[in-house]
Structure 1
Amino acid sequence: MSLYEEKPRSKCVIYSFGVNYETRFEGEMLDRTECEIWAYDASVQQMGPETHGRPGAYFRPYFVGDKDYVDRKSIPWRTLRSLMKENGHDWIDILKIDIEGSEYPTFNAMMDDFDVLPFSQLQIELHVDRKHVAFSDFLHWWQKLESKGLRPFWTEVNLHTALNFATPWASEYCFINTRGPPSKNLLLRDYEN
């Protein structure tokens, strides 16, 4: 957080997929930085109270996925590549993803679409139960993630399900992207030399 407060890029950009009405992170980023928040979630009509209607917060009722289309409920689905093109962005400082199990096909498409993933940091909720992903598929996905230069630096088991005496099935992860130009990747800028 301090890097984004002390050494902002000329245009700090955060994409947040799957916000629901839970926007405390996005609200704090608006409070403490000059970042813009671009949020997408077709399961709600607006962002939560911490961000709704605030300057620098942009919301679209889209789902993010592995291809562009409109589903049978008339809900638009967009890829990261399409959203970045639509918004005129070539780099994202923080990409936050909580899309309830769709992270695997969605992120596979991102890794196929970009030689260098266009973000500095990834914050993602991974659904790790068999309902969402087989272990062999997860292992392949993780190896592909690492081959793209992403390195985990923080994790936490999501214990929300444990409140109902169920086995935890999701983990929160943060990754740093070790690739990309230091001029755009604030997290690498001081390590350029």
Structure 2
Amino acid sequence: MARWRLRTKAIFVYLGSLFLILAFLSVFTINGNLFSDPKTEINNRRKMLMQKVAVDRIDVNGLYVNGPFNKELPVIGAQFVGKYKEDVKNELDVSKYNKDGVWVIPPLSILPNISWSDLSTIYHGYLENVQIKCKNPERVGKITDGGWQICEDPQHKPSPGSLVYSFGINNDFSFDDAMAKKYKTQVHSFDPSIKLKDHDRSDLVKFHATGISDYTGVSDKGWNMATLTDIKRQLGHTKESLSVLKMDIEEWEWKVLPQLIKSNALHNIKQLLIEVHACEGCAIFRADRNNEASKERYIQGLQTYQHLYDLGFRLFWIHKNSACAYRSKFTDKEISACHEIHFVHVD
């Protein structure tokens, strides 16, 4: 009898220990702290958050991913619901820059005098509205992350043999390959951060282990970098226009865009596609990060968008990247710090 009791007690102790071990493992696995590769977790989260587009083919703007479409584009104005306590002393009335729910950029000279909270409202509100209607937008590449919209209206559609520059590949050539296949364009793909050397991927797609920057030289990571003007000169394209310039360069856009604008390197580009990252460091996802951009980044972003508008670029498609979603410290609403913005150039 005593032996039976000891066996029973041992069984209960064993089961109890097993339960505690399983509970411990489940907690740490859920939190992603055990046996998890951070890069894999990031990619899995991005894929998960992009499933809405893949399943119902609806962009987060509420528009069909594949054109053409005939319904009117929505006009969505972000409404500000409160002041952040640190900004009360800098309060200016910015309501006059919201016209019928559409935000326009205030004069650049007064941007430093606008509160951080109002700059956030204007920045995100500005990226809620297209500025020109593309009647024939077409998704090129993946339906999910990695694909981009191309405007196929006759005056903007890429023509066979025209040039496409695609900066930022990250081993995903789906957009580049699709551009070459669909439009017979000459595609030049650029990325110094992946382990590939210069090579011809196909008859129409050529890869270059070079990155776009605001300077020409070698970066502190040992990457070959160059300005757009120097890249075109190196490839013998100085006098040629680009039907599409795509940049997904993980916050380098804030160095590159001012240089492109200042050097007038954008004058012969028909479509400009950029992923912009408002928050510093949000190119690398971290669940514990607050992605609210700094006041200085909001000012730089609005200045850049105004300069692009003055150069004749008009937004025809905007996609919010859900992988950069966060809760605003000013409105307590969920918004995104990353946008894939698509422009066409108008004369």
Contact 1:110-1:117 within 8 A present in 2 as well: no
Please give the alpha-carbon distance, in whole angstroms, between the structure 2 residues aligned to 1:116 and 1:76.
Answer: 22
**Paired residue for 1:121?**
271
How far is 1:72 from its partner? 3.5
- Displacement of 1:116 in angstroms is 5.4
- Looking at secondary structure, tell me which structure has more helix per residue: 2
String of CA shifts for 1:93-131, please: whole Å, max 9, x gaps: 000000111102201111111275221001110111226
- List alignment gaps of at least 5 residues for structure 2: 1-137, 139-151, 280-292, 327-333
TM-score normalized with structure 2 length: 0.45
CA RMSD of the aligned region, Å? Answer: 2.7
User: 1:136 & 1:45 partners in 2: Cα distance?
Assistant: 36
Secondary structure class of the residue paired with 2:171: coil
Q: Which moved more, 1:72-81 or 1:62-71?
A: 72-81
Percent of counterpart pairs with the same letter?
A: 24
- 1:29-108 aligned at under 5 Å gives the runs 29-46=179-196, 53-89=201-237, 90-108=240-258
Cα drift, residue 36 of structure 1: 0.9
Deviations 1:62-119 (A, max 9, x none): 1110111112443211111011111122211000000111102201111111275221
How many residues are matched? 172
- Aligned equivalent of 1:146: 309
Superposed structure 1 runs of 4+ greater than 3 Å apart? 1-4, 7-10
User: What TM-score results when the alignment is normalised by the length of structure 1?
Assistant: 0.79
* Kept after mapping to 1: 8 A contact 2:166/2:190: yes
Note the residue ranges of structure 1 that are not aligned, 5 or more in a row. Answer: 180-193
Deviation at 1:148, TM superposition (A): 0.9
Query: Letter of the aligned partner of 1:23 in structure 2?
Result: F
AA matched with 2:168 = G
Higher relative CO (Cα under 8 Å, sequence separation at least 6) belongs to 1
What is the match of residue 183 of structure 1? none
- 1:77 to 1:88, Cα distance in 2 relative to 1, 3 A: same
> Residue type matched to 1:105 in 2?
K
Secondary structure at 1:176's aligned position in 2? strand
Secondary structure in structure 2 of the residue aligned to 1:119: coil
